[in-house]
């Protein structure tokens, strides 16, 4: 048995010991479930039944029942093997049993595994599988509860710790704009630098300014602009009607949009399903718009 395959078997054993795990097969979703074993105790088997049923028609339906539990291996090969505390499970067509951890005294673990412990909290397991490893093997593993959060969990934790800055919607001309005169917008308050979100591990989330989104409030729709944090003409809109129907002015609003990237120990981390953008809450800024009247004197 190769070391890689052995680690796969050990991984399955640890998952089995944690009481429940979902695995994939070509035909259905399977899970390891604990069932009473003959003569007392419990065994682990793969339940690959279709939980959805088939609406209970006359062609063998079961009115939505879960079906029978059918292991993918012959667990009779390991029946009665090991102490009452041993775990039994199927690894594909392989019937396995194991002691997790080994029942030998901890002071003997290094000798059994053939190497020193990799670190604090590690345990030695004993696993036998038929037909590939009938003699059994001892090996160090780190229990799931000692491994801490996954990279996925740490990435979402870091993302949740990003705080978008407070800002106000600024515009020019100040206090009031005018019909047919370009109005400039910018976010007053934030910087245009990156924002860091940290996790309890080595995973960080980095928010890089991408753009601001502005809704002028006159029904023209949301427009995207460069990430403007200083007065300038990078983001502008021209109103064609005065805000006479709005007592306080057009209900303009703005939000900040950031691109999101993740790192693990300073190296890029990419996992499917992680967020790629972050948007701040909308900030309102009523914007009065007036007509400009010209008086011609002859």
pLDDT of 40: 43
Distance CA 237, CA 185 (A): 8
Please give the pLDDT value at position 63. 40
pLDDT value of position 84: 80
The pLDDT assigned to 77 comes to: 86
d(CA 177, CA 2): 75
pLDDT value of position 169: 96
Q: Long-range contacts: 240-248, Cβ < 8 Å, 24+?
A: 240/179, 240/180, 241/179, 241/289, 242/179, 242/289, 242/290, 242/291, 243/218, 243/287, 243/288, 243/289, 243/290, 246/217, 246/286, 248/286, 248/288
pLDDT attached to residue 115: 92
Q: Residue 232: what pLDDT?
A: 94
Distance (Å, whole) CA 45 – CA 51: 16
Q: Which residues of the chain have pLDDT under 50?
A: 1-46, 48-69
Check residue 99 and give its pLDDT. 85
Contact 181, 192 (CB under 8 A): no
The whole-number pLDDT of residue 42 equals 43
Query: pLDDT, tens digit, for every residue of 222-263?
Result: 999 999 999 999 999 999 999 999 999 999 999 999 999 999
């Amino acid at each position: 048995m190769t070391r890689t395959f052995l680690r796969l078997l050990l991984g399955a054993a640890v998952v089995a010991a944690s009481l429940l795990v979902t695995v994939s097969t070509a035909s259905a979703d399977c899970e390891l479930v604990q069932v009473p074993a003959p003569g007392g105790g419990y065994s682990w088997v793969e339940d690959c039944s279709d939980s959805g049923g088939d609406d209970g028609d006359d062609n063998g339906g079961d009115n939505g029942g879960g079906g029978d539990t059918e292991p993918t291996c012959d667990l009779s090969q390991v029946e009665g093997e090991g102490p009452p505390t041993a775990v039994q499970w199927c690894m594909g067509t392989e019937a396995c049993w194991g002691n997790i951890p080994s029942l030998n005294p901890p002071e003997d673990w290094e000798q059994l595994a053939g190497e020193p412990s990799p670190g604090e909290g590690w345990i030695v397991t004993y696993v036998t599988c038929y037909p590939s490893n009938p003699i059994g093997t001892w090996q160090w593993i780190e229990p799931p509860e000692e491994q801490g959060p996954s990279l996925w969990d740490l990435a979402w934790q870091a993302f949740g710790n990003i705080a978008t800055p407070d800002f106000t919607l600024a515009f020019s001309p100040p206090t009031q704009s005018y019909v047919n005169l370009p109005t400039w917008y910018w976010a007053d308050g934030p910087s245009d630098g990156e924002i860091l979100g940290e996790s309890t591990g080595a995973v960080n989330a980095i928010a890089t300014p991408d753009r601001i989104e502005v809704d002028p409030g006159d029904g023209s729709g949301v427009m995207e602009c460069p990430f403007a944090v200083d007065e300038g003409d990078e983001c502008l809109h021209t109103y064609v009607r005065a805000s006479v129907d709005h007592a306080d002015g057009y209900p303009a609003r703005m939000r900040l949009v950031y691109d999101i990237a993740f790192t693990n120990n300073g190296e890029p981390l990419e996992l499917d399903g992680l967020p790629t953008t972050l948007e701040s809450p909308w900030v309102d800024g009523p914007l009065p718009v007036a007509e400009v009247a010209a008086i011609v004197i002859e």
